[in-house]
Chain A
Amino acid sequence: MKKQLIQLEINNRVYEVPVNPRDLLVDVIRKKVGLTGTKKGCGQGDCGACTVLIDGAPVLSCITLAIACQGKKITTIEGLADDRGNLHPIQQAFVDHGAVQCGFCTPGMILTAKALLDRNPQPGEAEIKRGIAGNICRCTGYKKIVEAISAAAATISKGVVK
């Protein structure tokens, strides 16, 4: 089957990539664009490791066709730090609170947290847990992740960093 050249806007940069219609977004991001922060876990939408933001919404890139993402704004974990390399407050909070262990779930977890805080800037503990219910972590027991997201919410709402 012939490949088609498509344009994908990832982290405010446009990439031209040749794809087959069957190519999954996660594979295109990792192998063709070369951004390997997005992880491939279960491949069935259950674990959340492959989460990216599409037009601000958290989407499972392992069950999304790349060809369906033309004209949309895709954000991966590489797109969160600012131009000078300062970590996003959620990333910084994950570091500060020990919410990263093996790190495999972290990109998806942080992007899901970003989508949550964009919609609900000051979530309670129950809302955070509900928000990350689709992201599985095998190391931390979630406690530090919940604390980190809560701390990030406080930092962002103080307006110290955008």
Chain B
Amino acid sequence: MYLNHFEYYAPRTAGEAFELVGRLGDQAKVLAGGTDLMLILKEKLIKPQYLIDINGVKEFQGIAYAAGKGAVIGAATKISEVEHSAIIRDKYFALYQAAGELGSVQVRAMATIGGNSCHASPAAETPTPLVTLRARVVIKSAAGERQLPLEDFILGNRKTVLGVGEILTGFILPEPAPRSASRYAYIGLRNAMEIDAVNMAVNLVLEDDGRTIKDLRLVMGSVAPRPLISAEVPAILVGQEFGSELVGKAAAAAAGEARPISDIRASAEYRREMVAVLARRLLQEAFDAAREV
């Protein structure tokens, strides 16, 4: 089976890449790892005339960290690099966990972290922890640059705010707060190569007493068209001492906020139930971990 014809460009610099996406406009598609795009091309769902392969652009790759400031992850950084980064494991544990769960070793070697958010599947692995960790995206074009929180970048299933001529160039992660920890988990039908039925990440910050919750973010994936930031869980827990009764209440609230659908992978009812299970589990794990840092 053949793909439709297209012309192939492999820019070497960011400037060349911006010039190409600007000039070729909506006839062109950016090619990163290709693990989503190649499948869509095979299905002939879209017929771009040009592919712009950004893997040769060094400026879009790599993980840089500055103590006290945080990390910048290039959009074309491979998931395997995120998975094996000591900085990501030490500082942004939920992202480290999610990166290790994406696809297979081959998929992780090919797929990029930027492609995961640009493809914007509701079941995607990394947007959930990235939103939890308050990642901002950097979007650039020949005309300039803009930044926004990742939750405002993803609009819904396969929809983002990216305009014609724009490239997602990276993610900015703030330095984690003292006494904080993040955790990620998912529920799927099997242990590898599954599409998540529910995923979730939690970032929890403790007061100096090591018991009172100072700040909290809980984000759910695969239960709404885009990452769903819980409003009720922080409302219940922030300012309170951590305890199983409140955690139970918070987990039930999260389940109530979820807006899952029933599909081939799970029923809406099951997904809602699993939201409560994951919320309880992750709040406890993040709390235990935050006490140790």
Bound pair: A and B? Answer: yes
Binding site for B on A (CB under 8 A): 1, 20-22, 24, 43-46, 48, 51, 57-60, 63-65, 67-68, 112, 115-116, 130-135
CB-defined contacts of A115 to chain B, threshold 8 Å: 105, 109
- Other than the known A22-B2, A48-B104, A134-B104, what 9 A-B pairs have Cβ atoms closer than 8 Å? A60-B35, A63-B35, A63-B110, A65-B38, A67-B8, A68-B53, A112-B105, A112-B106, A134-B103
Interface residue count for B (Cβ, 8 Å)? 29
- In the complex the two chains form, is B107's CB within 8 Å of A134's CB? yes
Binding site for A on B (CB under 8 A): 1-8, 10, 31, 34-35, 38-39, 42, 51, 53, 55, 80, 103-107, 109-110, 191-193
A-B contact pairs, 19 of them (CB 8 A): A21-B5, A21-B8, A22-B3, A22-B6, A45-B38, A45-B107, A46-B193, A48-B106, A51-B106, A60-B110, A63-B34, A63-B38, A63-B39, A65-B51, A65-B53, A68-B53, A112-B106, A115-B105, A133-B193
A162 shortest CB reach to chain B, Å: 23
A133 shortest CB reach to chain B, Å: 3
- In the complex the two chains form, is B2's CB within 8 Å of A116's CB? no
Q: How far is the CA of A54 from the CA of B83 in the complex (A)?
A: 19
Q: How far is the CA of A15 from the CA of B39 in the complex (A)?
A: 27
Nearest first, the 8 A-B pairs at minimum CB distance are A134-B104, A133-B192, A21-B8, A63-B38, A22-B3, A57-B109, A1-B5, A58-B106
Q: How far is the CA of A135 from the CA of B102 in the complex (A)?
A: 15
- In the complex the two chains form, is B8's CB within 8 Å of A60's CB? no
A130 shortest CB reach to chain B, Å: 7
CB-defined contacts of B105 to chain A, threshold 8 Å: 58, 112, 115-116, 130-134
- In the complex the two chains form, is A68's CB within 8 Å of B35's CB? no
Taking a contact as CB atoms closer than 8 A, the residue among A20, A43, A60, A132 that contacts B107 in the complex is A60
B258 shortest CB reach to chain A, Å: 28
A108 shortest CB reach to chain B, Å: 9
CB-defined contacts of B39 to chain A, threshold 8 Å: 44-45, 63
- In the complex the two chains form, is A65's CB within 8 Å of B110's CB? no
